[in-house]
Structure 1
């Protein structure tokens, strides 16, 4: 596992080690290492160690509890869990894609430490994964296995399953030798200096993408695997990108003795053009792009009751992103997004809109956006939502914070809230004095003690005694929900209100898509979902699965149109698998138009559920709706 190698590396370093050096040691991109460090830090304290970043120096690891740390290391002692079919599948693809020619079943079995028969069974799924990249896995007697397909598609699969593998495996001898002799750090340095000199603007993520593409070019070229002219369609790119590509090709020939054919150089220029932020868009293209974006955003506003089309900053930001995006789509280039998996749960509401944005792009231009590209669109839309949220918070002018005494902790709460509600006057009182505001009501009540949901028509939001960053974020979300609901003349729907006895299924097992379809059809028949609800849910799930961690799934349609807000729940007594992922509890989400904020509350609930195995274990053991609601109430109470 990469986490084990990272921890071992940091443990053995006497001095702080930089992100770049960690990436070089592990042979992964800096963005991948940055995410790996972030994920490792989340659970580090409970495993007896901490990772710290020393400014200007690098990362260090210090052991806080020897017993916990030793136990943690023992748990990570094997490279992969051979009983985990997902990890075996990744390992098979990892090794096959590095092979220069054929690789035998015996070689794969020896490297992954499983039987030949297990490898044979796993190859059925490996073929399906490769087919997603339009690649074929062929088998030749006495020779073994070999990948067949366009070189461009092989490189995409190589990037995913070798350079960005989700498990750590030792590279094959050939690839390890390539990394050792190629000095790819020198390549990164030359590329950075070159794009700076040419005044080409790229983000750090895109720079890492370009470096990854160049490493793949070098490795595949050393195996005499090149892109052929007939495999791609090349159109004229700006002169600056052609010049840059030729300079890169000349440098590669001098440094590595590899002369890239013209098709490779042309494709490299296309990569640079498609992955660079363009400071100046041609006036004609800009006018058309602005017009198209306005139409798309207007359509989104109508469907989701948003205000995208009136945000000039959003339109400008999207235009600068979409211009090179259309180039990428033309060449079928994939821009990897290291944040997309993290966003899947944290920004579910934004991704719902982003998927619809992708559909409208496809309708207008005929190109299909990848999940990673949709993730980048979501970042732009998320920034808009944050801006809208802050605008709503700025309209709150008077807040009353209710505590048991009105002093002490109330003063600390007020200081923190003043940073969030910068335009508001914030007062703190004890619960005994709330009646004093009957004639002079504030815009909002916040209470650290259990109370009714409102007082004289003004909402009362329950908050914790100590406001950490997560609680501040929660208050921000709840407040904007209250304001939005009042603007729409509707009440705020609580999480508990979304569940009902009619839409709770408890069954032993079944087929994942069949269970979703059955629950969806029931909602349509009962006229609480739109007529195309089932179709939209199935389309979303088959394109990009909503199965999260710990066997929790949250399927939903690619647009909102419910007649009634409801979440259907299917609980499985025995876990099932779909697309190599385990499923134990399915939450089918059906929300009204304009109720995007509820997606965020549901996502927060799912995150709490997955964070503690005890909740999942209890829910999977229930026998009735009453037991289910009791657990939900306990979860809500504990979270507060």
Structure 2
């Protein structure tokens, strides 16, 4: 399975790709990828390809024999890891959603290459997944299994588990035949030309959403499955969207011989209305929307100590996004977001605020946002945070960089920092000459050698000798943290300060939510967390799990309100599973209002941990808090 994913990635890359980029894309450590490449190369030539390492550039795949390589791809194409319950679950949904009518347990077992009893056991989880789409799995003696529910909900599940499946599975004969006979490329070309002709503004992501919906319409219509008029309430949309839907329906009838009923055409018009970018909002609607957004952002500012409500550019950007979003919510047509999984760790601090934004939208309009839609809101808020960060960096006027000699390496560092701190005067000195600045202190010290955390009240930030993009970003984050902390008259906490022995424990095989609840309750009882902390953590976890890759989980409340910044740690003697995801270490995050920057530091720490399987293994073997904290200190030192 891993080999298939690696080969496909290299095949898609027209330029060499570095080891670190491969590891980041596939979600494995660099050592695992190095080993995987080595194992793949052992037999690659007999399969008609080679993987080469171009010095200073990265890896590239070259096909030597197209016939051999095609055969190799076909052999790998339908494999899944049958020992992986997540993959079995997705495989069952992949096949059952393509069925036109009933499908037997024997058919599913044969396609997935597992026993009938294994499929039967997996159906419990299958029913839970279908219930998320308001669908039911019914069983009829001598017939088999069949999905029941509203057509639109079936299409949403079809999109997720068939069109966007991450597994390498062969489609059923019926769906494969549809793909073969249906000229979907022609459909894509016509849709794009029609959108251009009608001057409807859509992003590439939204175009793909519309195109996906049309492919599903065609496949389901060929099975005589249509949206029924009594299943959804259609409201009148702008004339331009009605015209577009009618022209598209006429073209589908000419090309594919399928006459879409009125409810389908109306629903198509609703799709265009709900997914198009809106350049102009009606005056009355705009006034109300601006007022509502201002109220929501005022609440967020109070709860998170942010400054959203004074950012007019943010309010305008959100209004242009929310206006069609409300249409999508009305029809339950929420967008899929290809970036949301990547954002889950990279923008944890922003997502905390975005989830609260979603709650406030629900309170005001009665609509619940999906994780994908919340991800789009997070992009708007992330842009605001970046702007605020740059304003803080522009306030830094004098920086002293401390090096062991103050020589050539210091000069290189200074040149890179001048791009980051465009308004600052940057000086470089050796550590022996720091006393010279006692009378005329800079705004900030940056040091490549270990020093105290401050000098004469001015913070000293530890940096590396060589500033790559990752380190520059880290300096940017740490600097803004220091400035924000000084504005709040508080001390900047380091990652090390968040871990204490009372909230470190080792557990045997127990329920995931039970362990989180117990640790949360202990923080509440010890008065370091707010009284509603446990409820807020459980709500966040039930709605959108915070289990990341490699068995690392980072549960946290849906809003901040700690009395003392703390991260509780639970190490599991053996892995457990929740929502078909492995859990090995739980980091329960409890942060004060206004300390979103610490969420970012914790996310950075978790990302570093997930990059190193050996480090995770060492952490799991830790039997005492002292052993655990020693590993934390090593990560901080090497970061």
Asked if TM exceeds 0.5, the reply is yes
Q: What residue is the counterpart of 2:532 in the other structure?
A: 532
Alignment of 1:299-314 (within 5 A): 299-314=299-314
Note closer, same or farther for the CA distance 1:75–1:339 as it changes in structure 2 (3 Å cut): farther
1:215 maps to 2:215:
yes
Question: What is aligned with 1:30?
Answer: none
Q: How does 1:170-319 map to 2 (within 5 A)?
A: 170-319=170-319
Matches of 1:349 and 1:274, distance apart in 2: 29
Secondary structure in 2 matching 1:522: helix
The CA distance in 1 between the partners of 2:327 and 2:383, in whole Å, is 24
| 8 Å CA contact 1:568, 1:587 repeated in 2 | yes
Write the distance in 2 (CA, Å) between the matches of 1:491 and 1:37. 36
Structure 2: distance between partners of 1:364 and 1:358: 10
1:489-537: per-residue Cα shift (whole Å, max 9, x none)?
Answer: 0000000000001111112221111111111111111111111000000
| Alignment-derived partner of residue 506 in structure 1 | 506
Please give the alpha-carbon distance, in whole angstroms, between the structure 1 residues aligned to 2:612 and 2:255: 52
**Alignment-derived partner of residue 97 in structure 1:** 97
**Aligned residue in 2 for 1:87:** 87
Question: Helix, strand or coil for the counterpart of 1:129?
Answer: helix
C-alpha contact 2:334 2:370 (8 A) present in aligned 1: yes
Aligned-partner SS, 2:137 = strand
Deviation at 1:334, TM superposition (A): 2.4
CA distance in 1 between partners of 2:6 and 2:540 (Å): 36
Tell me: CA distance 1:358–1:474, structure 2 relative to 1, closer, same or farther (3 Å).
Answer: same
Could you say which residue in structure 2 is the equivalent of 1:336? 336
8 A contact 1:507–1:572 mirrored in 2 = yes
Distance in 1 separating the partners of 2:258 and 2:112: 33
2:66 — aligned with what?
A: none
Q: Contact 2:133–2:154 at 8 Å: present in 1 too?
A: yes
Q: State the partner residue of 2:138.
A: 138
Partner of 1:444: 444
Paired with 1:260 and 1:166, the residues of 2 have a C-alpha distance of: 31
Residues 76 and 396 of structure 1, relative CA distance in 2, 3 Å threshold = farther
Give 1:351's aligned residue. 351
Corresponding residue SS for 1:630: helix
CA offset digits 1:45-77 (Å, max 9, x no partner): 77364799xxxxxx97349xxxxx9xx999978
Counterpart CA distance in 2 for 1:634 and 1:8 is: 36
Q: Which residue of 2 is the match for residue 129 of structure 1?
A: 129
Provide closer, same or farther for how the CA distance between residues 568 and 6 of structure 1 changes in structure 2, counting only shifts above 3 A: closer
**Residue pair 2:78, 2:170 contacting (<8 A) in 1 also:** no
Counterparts in 2 of 1:277 and 1:499: CA distance versus 1, 3 Å: same
In structure 2, distance between residues paired with 1:183 and 1:36: 33
Deviations 1:421-446 (A, max 9, x none): 11111111111111111111111111
Change (3 A) 1:37 1:319: farther
C-alpha distance in 2, partners of 1:283/1:92? Answer: 49
CA contact (8 A) 1:399 1:427 kept: yes
Give me the whole-angstrom Cα distance separating, in 2, the residues matched to 1:50 and 1:149.
51
Q: CA deviation at 1:166?
A: 2.2
Aligned residues of 1:41 and 1:50 also touching (Cα < 8 A): no
Confirm or deny that 1:568 pairs with 2:568: yes
Number of residues of Structure 1 aligned to a counterpart in Structure 2 = 608
SS of the residue aligned with 1:171?
coil
User: What does residue 577 of structure 1 align with?
Assistant: 577
Instruction: Write the distance in 2 (CA, Å) between the matches of 1:51 and 1:590.
Output: 45
Shift of 1:165: 1.0
Pick closer, same or farther for the CA change 1:97–1:288 going to 2, 3 Å.
same
Checking the alignment, whether the CA contact within 8 Å between 1:156 and 1:334 is kept in structure 2 is: no
SS of 1:582 mapped into structure 2: strand
Listed as ranges, the gaps of 5+ residues in structure 2 are 16-20, 39-50, 64-68
1:264-308: per-residue Cα shift (whole Å, max 9, x none)?
Answer: 000000011001111110000000000000000000000000000
Q: Secondary structure at the match of 2:570?
A: strand
Q: 1:144: Cα distance to partner?
A: 1.0
Q: What TM-score, normalized by structure 2, do the two folds share? A: 0.92
Aligned-partner SS, 1:157: helix
Cα contact 2:508–2:573 (8 A) shared by 1: yes
| 2:610 equivalent in structure 1 | 610
In the TM superposition, residue 40 of structure 1 has moved relative to its aligned partner by 4.7
Q: Which residue of structure 2 lines up, in the alignment, with residue 39 of structure 1?
A: 25
State how far apart, in whole Å, the 2-side matches of 1:372 and 1:157 are.
Answer: 14
1:382 counterpart residue number: 382
Q: Any residues of structure 2 matched to 1:5-84 within 5 Å, and which? A: 7=7, 11=11, 39-40=25-26, 47=37, 49=51, 61-62=61-62, 79-84=79-84
- C-alpha separation in 1, matches of 2:509 and 2:278: 52
| CA–CA distance in structure 2, aligned partners of residues 165 and 83 of structure 1 | 18
Instruction: Name 2:435's counterpart in structure 1.
Output: 435
SS at match of 1:259: coil
Mean Cα displacement is larger for which, 214-223 or 35-44?
35-44
Rate the CA distance shift 1:37–1:440 in 2: closer, same or farther, 3 A.
Answer: closer
CA distance in 1, matches of 2:312, 2:400: 35
Q: Give SS of 1:221's match.
A: helix
- Determine helix, strand or coil for the equivalent of 2:621: coil
Conserved? CA contact 1:51–1:62, under 8 Å: no
The residue that corresponds to 2:48 in the other structure is none
Question: What's the CA shift string for 1:445-472, capped at 9, x where partnerless?
Answer: 1111111111111111111111111111
CA distance in 1, matches of 2:306, 2:93: 43
State the alpha-carbon separation in 1 of the partners of residues 372 and 193 from structure 2.
27
RMSD: 2.5
Q: Distance in 1 between matches of 2:511 and 2:2?
A: 33
* Matches of 1:370 and 1:522, distance apart in 2: 31
Deviation string, structure 1 residues 366-415 (Cα, Å, up to 9, x no partner): 10001100000000000000000001001111111111111111111111
Match of 2:494 in 1: 494
Aligned to 1:320: 320
Secondary structure of 2:594's partner?
A: coil
Q: Is the 8 A contact 1:3 1:40 kept in 2?
A: no
Does residue 109 (structure 1) correspond to residue 109 (structure 2)? The answer is yes
Please state whether the residue corresponding to 1:620 is helix, strand or coil: helix
| Alignment partners' CA distance in 2, 1:351 and 1:5 | 29
Unaligned runs of 5+ in 1: 18-34, 53-58, 64-68
Distance 2:572 2:610 in 1: 16
